[in-house]
Structure 1
Amino acid sequence: MTPARDLWTIASTADAARARAVLARLTADAGLPALDRARFLTAFTARLRRCLGEGGAEVAVRADADGQLHVAVRQPGRPGAWRHALSCPRPVTSPLPSPAGLDGAALAEALLDADADADAVLESLAETEELVGFHREELHQTNQGVLALHAELEAAALAQHELLDAERAARAAAENARRLLTFLANASAALNASLEHDDILRRLPDLLVPEYASDVDIWLADEERTPSGDRAALTAARTGRPQHAARHPGELPGVEDQPPSPLSPDRPLLCIPLGARTVQGVLTLTAPGERFDPDATVMLLELGRRAGIALDNARQYEQHRDVAEALQRAQLTELPEVPGVSLAARYLPATRGLNIGGDWYDAFRQPDGSVLAVIGDVTGHGLRAAVIMGQLRTALRAYAVEGNGPGRILTLLHRMLRHQQPELYATCAVARFTPGDPTVVWAAAGHPPAITRDPGGRVRVLDLKPGIMLGVPLAYEYAEHTVRLPPGSTLALYTDGLVERRAAGIDAGIERLGRALEALSAAELEDLDAAAESLLKPMLHDSEHDDDVCLLLCRTSPA
């Protein structure tokens, strides 16, 4: 099909109206939608109106076989043209109608058709406006939902921030509580690790300064001086309740308020009574800053209570130790002067712990003129051990007066202790020296072996198997042994506190004692007391021992 073409000359308004009417009818027959048709015709008419004002125009119309309608408007003598292409649903009729053939009736009909198109456009516009209104309402509702969602998100974010702040505060409080409890536990362990009254008083300031106090003053109830914080400290000592002397009272939990102290014009004072049942003294603390932290204050009050208990324990321990030591020393024998035998003894109480009261030595004559040298150790420590040691010492002397030998004496002591003190045991070694006889008779009950040194310096350990400990719930007869001691020989009896250490076994200590005895010269052994001191130095070089120490040296006179 040959494309339809036509060229129209537009010289007047009537020509423009006819051209518009022809294109309106043409596009309507081709099925072009009214809205598209109205848009095209409006743009076409506006172009013709401009061209008429400038001298007229030529309209070129071409219809393709595929339904395309091409319209171009040119002004004669001027380059360029207005072009428009329309895609019509149906083919455009051929040949194209000419505008010149239109009469008045056709123009009127075209006018009515234009109104119909306008109605269609207006109807479409109304539908569009209704749809726009619907979407506008929908958009408004969406905006309201978005605003509500934003408000909820903001509230949720605020709540989350508050929860995070609360969590941080809770974690900080928990960490602070953990830190305070850890310090309290460590400080309590440090205070209770010592049973020395003065040592506890020295440790308190080191623990508290500078984190919990800028200055520490400890006043004890038996001191004559006035405590720091005078009125508040005296009130705390009298009532047993902590006192606070500060510029801003009422900030500390469980602490009564007092007027400002003249000794602390710049920082608050906290006066804590030391003790639980009885007040040992007052711990006066100067605040490390402008005030005491409330949580730290609660911890400090508990630390003061525990420090008071530690001081009370130390005081009771010292009293108990002094009584036990006095009792034990009162029962230690003054060594006799015996022809043919020199005696020297040393007793040292333990340097750590309540280990006083178990060790003893003794030396005395029997009715037949022989001399008994005795050394022993009661299990357990403290006052009870000292009392049992005194009973054993008295019973041993009584059995010796009856003329019993070392083995028989130990057998009788074993029976006595087993029946009178069934839960208490002891070790003991007894050696009998007879004037003019170089043979020494000895017996042992679970005691460390004696050590001998002959005049030539040779050392020997009497390591025959000893009998069982005294008091063991078992019937037992102790055997006697003999050892020949040439004139000028030395016999060393000792307790396990001299040779036993936690870091090494007792055998190593016995070997060390043998070497120390062997190292003594004959001249040093002439003065047996000095020789005893010389033996103690290498054995106790660390000056710290957990048990009592007894040493008894017996030396036969040279020929």
Structure 2
Amino acid sequence: MPSHLFADRPVPQPPERGPDAVDALITRTRRLRGDVDAVRRGTLVDEDDPGARWQRALCDLAVHQLDDLGAHLDQLRNGLPDGTTAPAGDDDLIAYEADHALGTGSLLSRVGSAEWNLLTDEVNWSEELYRIIGRSPASGPMTLDELPSVVHPDDQGLLTALVTGALVDGRPIDGEFRLVRPDGRVRTVHMTGEPVLDTDGSTASMWAVIRDVSALRRSEAAVRDSRDSLHRRQHFERTEHRIAVELQEAVLPPWQGSLQFPLGGAAELDGAALDVAARYFPSANSALIGGDWYDALQLASGASLLSVGDLTGHGVTATSSMAMLLGALRGMALAGVEPARLMVHLNQLMESSTQPALGSAVCCRFEPASRTLSWAQAGHPAPLLFRDGTGQILSRPDGVLLGATSSPEYEQAELELLPGDLLLLHTDGLTRTGAAGGGDTARLLALAPRLARVRNAQEAVRTVVELFGGDGREDDACVMVARIGS
């Protein structure tokens, strides 16, 4: 069996070239430790952000491990100082606790050793072991029978099994348990050791090295907890995103391509036909499902209602509020409520909602017989009118954001549309694409010559997509095009 070594006794110096190699390792370890510590200090810990907590916990764990590695290398190079003596009183215990309360204790101040001679009943402890256990050296070392008294009750059986296995079966000791110090504080220690046999093969003594791993285990626990919290957060976000997408798909109109009003065909229409197409643009961050919507609805009178809108926020909250608002809008429009009154009622609905938010919207009612467009808006970009190869922004009637005030007034505007006119409605996210897209309303108006050549609303939407459908969009958006037939 190998001879026992105290953790704080000198060890033989390494070979001649060893110190240079170890010095290089120490330098690299210290440099790496400094880099990791710089990352740790630069990591802002947001208690509501599991990802940030996980990153900080990993940095803390890495620093602890590099501290241990550096101290191991220092010991490998220099050995422990000669002439160590046990302290005379409790002052060193207080200093030890002060160091560890601040997290400044080195590896060497966290490792102690002991030897129990079974033939002479002599017990030798290193001074660091007294500090780890919180025992005054004046009280002397503890025998193997006394040692379980400072072990946590739940771990006493483990210690007994480790010691019995070493003394009876000759097995090496390698286990971890908790110590309860006299002040009530609990520390986690890792114990390694072996029995020492005499010439006839019987156990003469046992040695052990006891390392205080409390700080390391706390860091590992913090990493596990923060990682689990991050995984739960990610699972929640994936679930919320899936629900938001499904809710959005369920609420937005199911039609693809162009939609012709009236739905029964031009033969049933005494007036102008309406060709409608629309498109939803996701944001560059596909995880952000917003509250943008578009809708086209044929009313009982033969008129058509066109609307687009946007609610603040993202995720299930935004899409559920959008579903509520769009359902109310459809119901009131089918009941014959004019666009301006629609805005008043939608504002009341937003105010009474349990999920406060702000929203913008524009609602247009088109009468095919007179080709009259009646419209109102609530803090929303005005529709664009393209006629004879030119584009213009319609003058906005007054109207504030939905949910912004309790008693708003909404004006209603009217204009006559001509055959071949093209009306474009959009949410503000379409023209707010950031530095990558650089888009604005002027770019939309510049499409007028191209839009004058399209054959239907779907081609017009494709033209808009070519210009605004690229990457870099800060927010999601909707666009709707209505082309007036003859």
1:464 aligns with 2:401: no
Letter in 2 for 1:181: D
Distance change in 2, residues 1:309/1:188 (3 Å) = farther
- The answer to whether the 8 Å contact 1:180/1:296 transfers is no
Tell me the SS of whatever aligns to 2:445.
Answer: helix
Which of 421, 440, 444 aligns to 1:509? It is 440
Distance change in 2, residues 1:306/1:538 (3 Å) = farther
Could you tell me which runs of 5 or more consecutive residues in structure 2 were left unpaired when the two chains were aligned.
1-25, 67-173, 177-186, 192-213, 263-272
1:489 aligns with 2:412: no
Partner of 1:34: none
Which of 254, 258, 261 aligns to 1:334? It is 254
Partner of 2:448: 518
Q: What does residue range 20-99 of structure 1 map to in structure 2 within 5 Å?
A: none
Distance change in 2, residues 1:298/1:423 (3 Å) = closer
1:539 aligns with 2:471: no
Which of 471, 476, 491 aligns to 2:408? It is 476
Letter in 2 for 1:467: G
1:34-68, Cα deviation, whole Å (9 max, x unpaired): xxxxxxxxxxxxxxxxxxxxxxxxxxxxxxxxxxx
Letter in 1 for 2:261: V
- The answer to whether the 8 Å contact 1:188/1:303 transfers is no
> Structure 1 segments of 4 or more deviating over 6 A?
170-175, 185-189, 192-195, 253-257, 294-301
Partner of 2:133: none
Letter in 1 for 2:403: G
Bigger radius of gyration among the two: 1
Distance change in 2, residues 1:296/1:466 (3 Å) = farther
Q: What does residue range 113-512 of structure 1 map to in structure 2 within 5 Å?
A: 177-184=33-40, 306-335=226-255, 336-339=259-262, 340-352=273-285, 354-421=287-354, 423-454=356-387, 456-503=388-435, 509-512=440-443
* Identical aligned residues as a percent: 27
Point out the structure with the larger helix share: 1
Distance change in 2, residues 1:332/1:353 (3 Å) = closer
1:554 aligns with 2:482: yes
1:140-175, Cα deviation, whole Å (9 max, x unpaired): xxxxxxxxxxxxxxxxxxxxxxxxxxxxxx999987
- The answer to whether the 8 Å contact 2:276/2:480 transfers is yes
1:98-148, Cα deviation, whole Å (9 max, x unpaired): xxxxxxxxxxxxxxxxxxxxxxxxxxxxxxxxxxxxxxxxxxxxxxxxxxx
Could you tell me which runs of 5 or more consecutive residues in structure 1 were left unpaired when the two chains were aligned.
1-169, 213-248, 258-293
1:437-465, Cα deviation, whole Å (9 max, x unpaired): 232111101111111111x2110111425
| Distance in 2 separating the partners of 1:486 and 1:193 | 55
Of structures 1 and 2, the one with the larger relative CO (CA 8 A, separation 6+) is 2
In the TM superposition, what is the alpha-carbon distance from 1:346 to its structure 2 partner?
0.8
Question: TM-score, normalised on structure 2?
Answer: 0.53
Provide the aligned C-alpha RMSD in A. Answer: 4.3
In the TM superposition, what is the alpha-carbon distance from 1:327 to its structure 2 partner?
0.4
| Distance in 1 separating the partners of 2:236 and 2:351 | 31
Distance change in 2, residues 1:193/1:352 (3 Å) = farther
Question: TM-score, normalised on structure 1?
Answer: 0.46
Distance change in 2, residues 1:353/1:308 (3 Å) = farther
Distance change in 2, residues 1:521/1:362 (3 Å) = closer
- The answer to whether the 8 Å contact 1:181/1:299 transfers is no
Distance change in 2, residues 1:175/1:333 (3 Å) = same
Matched residues, number: 302
